[in-house]
């Protein structure tokens, strides 16, 4: 009999048992009979996890008195070993295995051969299914296959019948000990919570097929769809940069078209499983095999296959949503390979405590969004998904560049101490909330904050910022399923100004495109751009889709009726772009005037300096505007020709290395003599060491992420600006070998903390 046929016979019988209206225990008693009979095995037993021990729940062939009496610890005896290693054992002579333990109450001494398979639920062993026989013979492969398939069906039965405590399984620490994941600090902060995968596991509700042919067709269709998706990935920016991504894509393709994989799924369907169960069955088998191979390269590939297998499962089951849409827990630590900014914004920020990404880089927009949400992020956590499982307890210490998975008591204690210390610091910063930040030698530094959502505005008073120096209007577009119409924009801007009261707000017109792609703007939204960051985005897009900019201009002008309006344009590369954008506003203003509407009390226009070319024509541009804001995120990527979203380049160039500092100094010198305010609104201003460098260069206005406002105000009050400026001029003229180290040393000597 083939493996498929053997399994099918068992499954058909099992199906009846499961569909019957018996009590769970009665079902298990029937199940061992069905399996024992089908495999012609004298003994068939089921052990299930209860209170951390594997307990004999049902048996055919062993002493019935042993049921609910015999208990084994994980790792104890053959049964415990199977659970611990999540691996099958197939022995001709059980007693000769080094892990064998004799339990007299079972009466098992008359049986020689033994085969056992783990019952796995959510990648953890929740029980063991085993068969025993009087003759000393190994079980055949077909029999083992049948047992494994049966174990899988059982795992669903067990989970649904609540025979085991699922909370234990999900949150339990029984199978794998604590682990530390190292990564790159993307957003500082500490968080304790539970791992939730961005793309959750598919819930398999039906395991046994009613119509095998129909299941086969479902899987065929899903394969077609998945292959299409993988082919399309090649055109997406995420995979468009070559190198590592290219490799990943190739592997994906290889797996997606792998005939062995689809054949194994087909065989599993032949054995009577539904499409979902068949995919999961094959995946479980692969996982078991991989556990035996200790090769990190192969393990990486395994994650790719796992990813693909999950994708196939999602397609076939129609469960396409992310964790954001599925009743998020209140202490979520989100786990993902990577995320887009819009995907992150779908999450409820009150429930999201932290994010751990396998990829990610410091200035990627998703990280900026997380920073704005006040959510700590650890990035570049390699091998993440091989270590963390859904439901694991995680202590995220983003500051230390690590996450502790399934922490032990002592780790939790250290974490708590760290948390208390950080709270102390926050309390200290909170005291400065209403204090105006002056340097020691009396210069007022303006510390503004970056924002993008209505909710952010409550933070303004909380952190004591001087205003909003960058309001990223595109966030409204990113969180919206359709293009926000003028009325909706108007409402948002009005609310923002209301919330700001007499504090200034600088609205930046939409910066979409690049890594802030909008599905509803396709196909013109830069799709097909080989380098989206340098492509059709921001003002370039807005000037061409004039309707978009017109609507925004009207909304901003109307929202500011009777109040001050400050507008800035992103990614200005040449002065004419600024003129063209301003002309759109002028036209709308003229219209409102004709309509006799209340106009803004004052209007100031500014440009972002993000494209290096603009620095060469400042003499042309400065006479036309009120302020410039240096966007160091984009500026550095263009200066270094290093994609800000590319994780491989995340740590390559230093924000306070000589090229950037000299460039910024030149810009600041060029603005002297013009009545123009100069602000830095990139992420670097929110980091203490970097902020110190900016102050030394002559920057007096910063717009930073809200969580850093307190820390930067505190820093400002410790600085003697004259002394710092002099040191900076010295470093720029005769550069130290390591600029960062030099600034840090200077600060250390003065007792100024820079972390
Ligand atoms: C920048 O580029 O520095 C900036 C502030 O804009 P964004 O990060 O939104 O591109
Ligand atoms: Mg930018």
Q: How close is the Cα of 537 to the center of ligand 1, in Å?
A: 12
Ligand 1 pocket check for 633: Cβ under 6 Å: yes
**Atom 10 of ligand 1: nearest residue by CA position:** 634
Residue 386 has pLDDT above 70, yes or no: yes
Ligand 1 pocket check for 472: Cβ under 6 Å: yes
Ligand 1 pocket check for 631: Cβ under 6 Å: yes
What is the rounded distance in angstroms from the CA atom of residue 617 to the CA atom of residue 477?
32
pLDDT at 232: 73
For the ranges 224-228, 263-267, 412-416, 555-559, the one whose mean pLDDT is highest: 555-559
Domains in the chain: ranges and CATH: 3-169 (3.30.450.40), 469-705 (3.20.20.60)
Please give the share of the chain, as a percent, with pLDDT higher than 90. Answer: 53
Residue 244 has pLDDT above 50, yes or no: no
**Three-class secondary structure assignment of 400-458:** HCEEEECCCHHHHHHHHHHHHHHHHHHHHHHHCCCCCCECCCCCECEEEEEECCHHHHH
Ligand 1 pocket check for 634: Cβ under 6 Å: yes
Here the tokens at position 677 are 């305010």
Q: How close is the Cα of 389 to the center of ligand 1, in Å?
A: 34
Residue 460 has pLDDT above 80, yes or no: yes
**Atom 8 of ligand 1: nearest residue by CA position:** 633
Radius of gyration of the chain (CA): 31
CA atoms lying within 13 Å on the CB side of residue 157: 30
| 730 to 650, 666, 736: CA distances (angstroms) | 29, 15, 9
pLDDT at 624: 96
For residue 745, count other CB atoms closer than 10 A to its CB.
12
Ion ligand 2 contact residues with beta carbon within 5 A: 610, 631, 634
The answer to whether the bond into 208 is cis (omega within 30° of 0) is no
Q: How close is the Cα of 641 to the center of ligand 2, in Å?
A: 14
pLDDT at 238: 38
Q: How close is the Cα of 526 to the center of ligand 2, in Å?
A: 16
**Among 515, 631, 635, 699, which residue has the most ligand 1 atoms within 8 Å of its CB, making it the best to mutate?**
631
Residues 352, 334: contact at Cβ < 8 Å? yes
For residue 362, count other CB atoms closer than 10 A to its CB.
25
Residues 401, 184: contact at Cβ < 8 Å? yes
Residue 592 has pLDDT above 70, yes or no: yes
**Helix boundaries (H) for 23-133:** 24-38, 77-85
Q: What does pLDDT average to over the chain?
A: 87
User: What are the pLDDT digits (tens) for 485-518?
Assistant: 999 999 999 999 999 999 999 999 999 876 677 7
Q: How confident is the model at residue 718 (pLDDT cuts 50, 70, 90)?
A: very high
Q: pTM (2 decimals)?
A: 0.65
Residues 269, 223: contact at Cβ < 8 Å? no
Give kind and range of the element (H or E) at residue 590. helix 575-594
Task: Answer with the residue of higher pLDDT: 228 or 720.
Answer: 720
CA atoms lying within 13 Å on the CB side of residue 170: 11
pLDDT at 201: 73
Nearest C-alpha neighbor of 364 from the set 705, 645, 683, 654: 645
User: What are the pLDDT digits (tens) for 20-75?
Assistant: 777 888 888 998 998 888 888 899 999 998 888 999 999 999 999 999 999 999 89
Here the tokens at position 441 are 């030698």
Ligand 1 pocket check for 511: Cβ under 6 Å: yes
Here the tokens at position 416 are 């708590």
Alpha-carbon dihedral sign for residues 423, 425, 431, 434: negative
Residue 172 has pLDDT above 50, yes or no: no
Ligand nearest to the CA of 632: 1
How remote is the C-alpha of 214 from its chain's centroid?
Answer: 36
Q: How confident is the model at residue 249 (pLDDT cuts 50, 70, 90)?
A: low
| 310 to 279, 314, 712: CA distances (angstroms) | 9, 6, 44
Q: What is the mean pLDDT of residues 79-92?
A: 91
For residue 468, count other CB atoms closer than 10 A to its CB.
28
Residue 173 has pLDDT above 50, yes or no: no
Ligand nearest to the CA of 475: 1
Residue 417 has pLDDT above 70, yes or no: yes
Helix 296-317 × helix 212-233 angle, to 10°: 120
Nearest C-alpha neighbor of 164 from the set 107, 106, 83: 83
Write phi, then psi, for 97 (nearest 5 degrees): -75, 135
pLDDT at 378: 95
């Amino acid at each position: 009999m083939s493996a498929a046929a053997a399994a099918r016979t068992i499954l058909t019988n099992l199906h009846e048992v499961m569909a019957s209206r018996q009590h769970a225990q009665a079902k298990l008693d029937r199940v061992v009979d069905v399996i024992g009979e089908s495999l012609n095995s004298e003994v068939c037993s089921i052990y299930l996890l209860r209170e951390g021990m594997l307990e004999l729940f049902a048996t055919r062939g062993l002493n019935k008195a042993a049921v609910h009496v015999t208990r084994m610890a994980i790792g104890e005896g053959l049964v415990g070993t199977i659970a611990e290693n999540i691996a099958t054992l197939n022995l001709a002579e059980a007693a000769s295995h080094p892990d064998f333990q004799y339990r007299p109450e079972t009466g098992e001494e008359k049986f020689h051969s033994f085969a056992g398979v783990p019952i796995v639920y959510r990648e953890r062993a929740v029980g063991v299914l085993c068969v025993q026989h009087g003759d000393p013979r190994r079980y055949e492969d077909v029999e083992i296959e049948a047992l494994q398939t049966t174990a899988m069906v059982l795992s669903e039965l067990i989970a649904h019948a609540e025979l085991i405590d699922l909370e234990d399984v999900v949150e339990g620490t029984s199978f794998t000990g604590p682990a530390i994941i190292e990564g790159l600090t993307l957003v500082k902060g500490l968080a304790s919570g539970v791992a939730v995968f961005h793309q959750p596991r598919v819930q398999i509700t039906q395991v046994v097929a009613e119509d095998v042919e129909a299941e086969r067709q479902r899987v065929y269709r899903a394969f077609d769809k998945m292959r299409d998706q993988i082919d399309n990935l090649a055109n997406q920016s995420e995979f468009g940069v070559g190198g590592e991504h290219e490799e990943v894509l190739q592997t994906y393709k290889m797996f997606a078209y792998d005939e062995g994989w689809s054949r194994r799924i087909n065989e599993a369907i032949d054995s009577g499983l539904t499409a979902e169960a068949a995919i999961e069955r094959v995946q479980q088998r692969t996982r078991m095999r991989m556990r035996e191979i200790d090769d990190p390269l192969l393990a990486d590939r395994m994650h790719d296959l796992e990813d693909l297998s999950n994708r196939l499962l999602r397609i076939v089951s129609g469960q396409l949503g992310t964790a954001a849409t599925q009743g998020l827990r209140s202490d979520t630590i989100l786990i993902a390979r990577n995320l887009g900014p819009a995907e992150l914004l779908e999450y409820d920020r009150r429930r999201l405590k932290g994010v751990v990404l396998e990829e990610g880089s410091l200035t990627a927009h998703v990280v900026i969004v997380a920073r704005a949400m006040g959510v700590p992020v650890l990035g570049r956590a390699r091998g993440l998904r091989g270590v963390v499982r859904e439901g694991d307890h995680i202590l995220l210490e983003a500051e230390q560049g690590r996450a502790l998975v399934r922490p032990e008591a002592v780790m939790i204690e250290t974490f708590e101490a760290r948390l208390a210390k950080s709270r102390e610091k926050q309390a200290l910063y909170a005291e400065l909330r209403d204090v105006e930040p002056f340097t020691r030698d009396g210069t007022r530094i303006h510390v503004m904050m970056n924002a993008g959502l209505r909710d952010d505005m409550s933070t303004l008073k909380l952190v004591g910022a001087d205003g909003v120096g960058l309001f990223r209007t595109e966030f409204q577009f990113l969180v919206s399923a359709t293009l926000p119409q003028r009325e909706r924009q108007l409402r948002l801007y009005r609310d923002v100004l209301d919330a700001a009261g007499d504090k200034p707000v600088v609205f930046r017109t939409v910066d979409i495109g690049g890594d802030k792609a909008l599905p509803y703007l396709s196909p013109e939204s830069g799709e097909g751009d080989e380098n989206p960051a340098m492509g059709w985005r921001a003002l370039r897009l807005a000037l061409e889709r004039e309707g978009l900019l017109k609507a925004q201009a009207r909304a901003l002008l109307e929202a500011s009726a009777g109040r001050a309006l400050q507008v800035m344009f992103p990614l200005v590369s040449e002065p004419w772009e600024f003129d063209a954008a301003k002309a759109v506003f002028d036209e709308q203003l003229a219209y409102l005037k004709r309509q006799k509407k209340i106009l803004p009390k004052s209007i100031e226009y500014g440009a972002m300096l993000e494209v290096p070319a603009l620095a060469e024509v400042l003499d042309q541009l400065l006479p036309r505007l009120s302020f410039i804001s240096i966007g160091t995120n984009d500026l550095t990527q263009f200066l270094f020709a290093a994609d800000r979203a590319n994780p491989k380049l995340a740590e390559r160039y230093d924000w306070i290395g000589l090229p950037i500092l000299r460039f910024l100094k030149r810009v600041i010198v060029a603005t002297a003599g013009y009545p123009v305010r100069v602000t830095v609104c990139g992420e670097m201003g929110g980091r203490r060491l970097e902020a110190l460098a900016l102050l030394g260069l002559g920057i007096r206005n910063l717009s930073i992420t809200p969580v850093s406002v307190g820390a930067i105000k505190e820093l400002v009050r410790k600085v003697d600006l004259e002394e710092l400026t002099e040191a900076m001029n010295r470093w720029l003229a005769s550069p130290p070998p390591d600029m960062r180290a030099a600034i840090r040393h200077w600060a250390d000597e003065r007792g100024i903390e820079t972390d």
